[in-house]
């Protein structure tokens, strides 16, 4: 890549970054209020179906939602 091409690319990149606030509209109040849901997750080791059920009940009481059971792991999520 020649120096002229590289210089042109860097200038275009810098101008694009500087112009972004003018081109991309800010979030509306409704969009800001809605926010993005973030999640906390954890997995626990289980040795049987009964253990997975017990873990689900125990974790559910703490606000966790079971999202999967695979092999010896039961995984849960809850909103932050």
Burial label, 55 (beta-carbon count in 10 A; 0-12, 13-18, 19+): buried
pLDDT at 41: 92
Q: Distances in Å between the alpha carbon of 6 and those of 1, 18, 48, 72?
A: 7, 18, 60, 53
pLDDT at 19: 57
Low-confidence ranges of the chain (pLDDT < 50): none
Identify the bridge partners of residue 79 per DSSP, sorted by sequence position: 39
pLDDT at 35: 74
pLDDT at 29: 74
Q: Give the strand order in the sheet containing 65-70.
A: 39-45, 73-79, 65-70
Place of tokens 């002229």: 4
């Amino acid at each position: 890549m020649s120096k002229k091409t590289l210089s042109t690319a860097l200038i275009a990149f810098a101008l694009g970054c500087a112009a972004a606030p003018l081109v991309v509209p800010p979030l509306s109040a409704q969009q800001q209020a809605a926010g993005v849901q973030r999640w906390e997750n954890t997995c626990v080791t289980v040795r049987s179906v009964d253990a997975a059920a017990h873990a689900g009940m125990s974790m559910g009481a703490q606000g966790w939602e079971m999202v999967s059971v695979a092999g010896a792991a039961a995984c849960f999520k809850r909103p932050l």
